[in-house]
Amino acid sequence: MLEDAELLRRYAAEKSEPAFAELVRRHVNFVYACALRRVGGDRQLAEDVTQHVFTALARDAAALAQREVLSGWLFTTARNASAQVVRTERRRPALR
Tell me the average pLDDT across 37-44. 96
What gap in Å lies between CA 77 and CA 12, rounded to an integer? Answer: 19
pLDDT tens for 59-95 read 999 999 888 889 999 999 999 999 999 998 888 766 5
- Residues 61, 6 contacting (CB under 8 angstroms): no
Q: What is the pTM of this model?
A: 0.89
- CA atoms of 79 and 36, how far apart (whole Å): 10
Output the pLDDT for position 80: 97
Q: What pLDDT sits at residue 96?
A: 53
pLDDT of amino acid 59 = 95
Helix extents (H) in 40-70: 43-59, 61-64
Radius of gyration of the chain (CA): 14
* 44 burial level (CB within 10 Å; 0-12, 13-18, 19+): exposed
Percentage of the chain exceeding pLDDT 70: 96
pLDDT at 94: 60
Q: How far apart are CA 38 and CA 41, in angstroms?
A: 8
